[in-house]
């Protein structure tokens, strides 16, 4: 597996990111090894914070000090392809099953147990699968603006038409794409515009996506979102992730996700949702979890007002308080 590794100098003196780097080697799946970077701060019960696309562990920079101060050990890895972690250059290496395997490997290398998962975006698509397949390592789950699509409600006979729609969806510039995401439903799911922008627009850049998604992003924060990606050669993972989301019934990840949903239908460990009211991607997605997961019953599920997709940045204090209260209210 051919990889690139972002030079360390790109990460020097980033705003609000003073954390010491840590690294773990995981099996790449082809006989080689991948280096995964992670933040590891504090002592106590483990809070595993998983970011999504196209962010990195910088997304949790505002929450980490608050959670550490509350008495927890906070581990925030960079997914393969993001942050300071290794980045395969071939988009074909970024498969859903590979990402689940890499995260399992990461947890095994660190031997993480009694973990509270905090997950959002692709951090949830990966993290929830890892929970379902490794229940013994987890104590609780905090799901924030995320999910685990399994094609529910989409007939198999629609696959061909939906794939054709996706193929014919234009790869719009970022500003137009964001307009489609937040606009009314037209002749195709809005999410297809997001997939095609990341997949094929020549000016796609993770930092532009983050800037366009956040309530605020100053110049120093923009530099931090840009840091992992000095050129297009480093962006294969960021480009590929949306194309992997199993929203069409012929997606190869759907059987494993359906199996994971069956696990969660009997999952009695504490499970809480904390979604925002201004995320066009996941809005309303909390309901299925609340209705399905036994461990979600009686929890203080929350909708945070005014926050967008990246709730850890837009509403860091509020989400941190929810996590702390949730863990304290559901002791091991």
Question: Measured between alpha carbons, how far is 244 from 251 in angstroms, rounded to an integer?
Answer: 8
Residues 303 and 332 sit within 8 Å (Cβ to Cβ)? no
Question: Measured between alpha carbons, how far is 128 from 146 in angstroms, rounded to an integer?
Answer: 10
Residue 222 in tokens: 């923009």
Length of the chain in terms of residues written? 332
Strands 115-121 and 138-146: parallel
- The 10s digit of each residue's pLDDT in 275-307 is 999 998 899 999 999 999 999 999 999 999 999
pLDDT at 295: 98
Task: State what percent of residues in the chain have pLDDT above 70.
Answer: 100
Q: Which of 7-11, 59-63, 156-160 has the lowest average pLDDT?
A: 156-160
Give the pLDDT mean for 146-151.
94
Per residue, what are the HEC states of the chain? CCEECCCHHHHCCCCCCCCCCEEEEEECCCCCEEEEEEEEECCCCEEEEECCCCCCHHHHCCCHHHHHHCCCEEEEECCCCCCCCCEECCHHHCCHHHHHHHHHHHHHHHCCCCEEEEEEEHHHHHHHHHHHHCHHHEEEEEEEEECCCCCCCCCHHHHHHHHHHHHHCCCCCHHHHHHHHHCCCCCCCCHHHHHHHHHHCCCCCHHHHHHHHCCCCCHHHHHHHHCCCCCHHHCHHHHHHHHHCCCCCCCCCHHHHHHHHHHHCCCCCCEEEEEECCCCCCCCCHHHHHHHCHHHCCCCCEEECCCCCCHHHHCHHHHHHHHHHHHHHCCC
Residue 246, CB-side half-sphere exposure with 13 Å CA sphere: 24
Residues 329 and 323 sit within 8 Å (Cβ to Cβ)? no
pLDDT at 153: 82
> Is residue 128 over pLDDT 90?
yes
- The 10s digit of each residue's pLDDT in 25-38 is 999 999 999 999 99
> Is residue 155 over pLDDT 90?
no
Query: Predicted confidence band at 152 (pLDDT cuts at 50, 70, 90)?
Result: confident
Q: What's this model's pTM, rounded to 2 decimal places?
A: 0.96
Query: Predicted confidence band at 181 (pLDDT cuts at 50, 70, 90)?
Result: confident
- The 10s digit of each residue's pLDDT in 73-84 is 999 999 999 999
> Is residue 48 over pLDDT 90?
yes
- What's the gap between Cα 122 and its chain centre? 3
* Average pLDDT, rounded, for the chain: 96
- The 10s digit of each residue's pLDDT in 183-197 is 877 778 889 999 999
By annotation, the residues acting in catalysis are 121, 279, 309
CATH topology of domain 3-155+252-329: Rossmann fold (3.40.50)
Query: Predicted confidence band at 154 (pLDDT cuts at 50, 70, 90)?
Result: confident
**Dihedral sign, CA of 97, 46, 64, 314?**
positive
Domain coordinates in residue numbering, the chain: 3-155+252-329
Question: Measured between alpha carbons, how far is 63 from 65 in angstroms, rounded to an integer?
Answer: 6
Query: Predicted confidence band at 220 (pLDDT cuts at 50, 70, 90)?
Result: very high
Question: Measured between alpha carbons, how far is 128 from 134 in angstroms, rounded to an integer?
Answer: 10
């Amino acid at each position: 597996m051919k990889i690139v590794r972002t030079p360390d100098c790109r990460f020097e003196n980033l705003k609000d990111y003073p954390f010491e780097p840590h690294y773990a080697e995981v099996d790449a799946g082809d006989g080689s090894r991948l280096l995964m970077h992670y933040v590891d701060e504090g002592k106590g019960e483990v809070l595993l914070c998983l970011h999504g696309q196209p962010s990195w562990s910088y997304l949790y920079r505002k929450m980490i000090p608050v959670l550490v101060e509350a008495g927890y050990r906070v581990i925030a890895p960079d997914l393969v392809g993001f942050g300071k972690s290794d980045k395969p250059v071939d988009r074909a290496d970024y498969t859903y099953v590979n990402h689940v395997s890499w995260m399992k490997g990461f947890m095994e290398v660190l031997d993480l147990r009694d973990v509270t998962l905090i997950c959002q975006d692709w951090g949830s698509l990966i993290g929830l699968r890892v929970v379902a397949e490794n229940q013994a390592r987890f104590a609780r789950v905090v799901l924030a603006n995320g999910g685990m699509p399994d094609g529910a409600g989409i007939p198999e006979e629609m696959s061909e038409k939906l794939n054709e729609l996706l193929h014919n969806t234009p790869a719009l510039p970022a500003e137009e794409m964001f307009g489609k995401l937040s606009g009314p439903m037209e002749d195709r799911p809005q999410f297809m515009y997001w997939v095609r922008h990341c997949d094929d627009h020549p000016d796609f850049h993770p930092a532009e996506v983050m800037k366009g998604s956040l309530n605020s992003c100053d110049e120093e924060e923009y530099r931090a979102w840009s840091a992992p990606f000095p050129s297009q050669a480093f962006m294969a993972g960021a480009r590929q992730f949306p194309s992997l989301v199993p929203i069409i019934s012929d997606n190869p990840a759907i059987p494993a996700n359906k199996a994971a949903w069956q696990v969660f239908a009997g999952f009695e460990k504490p499970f809480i949702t904390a979604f925002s009211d201004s995320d066009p991607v996941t809005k309303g997605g909390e309901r299925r979890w609340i209705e399905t997961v036994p461990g979600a019953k009686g929890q203080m599920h929350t909708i945070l007002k005014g926050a967008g997709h990246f709730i850890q940045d837009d509403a860091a204090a509020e989400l941190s308080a929810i996590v702390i209260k949730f863990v304290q209210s559901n002791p091991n």
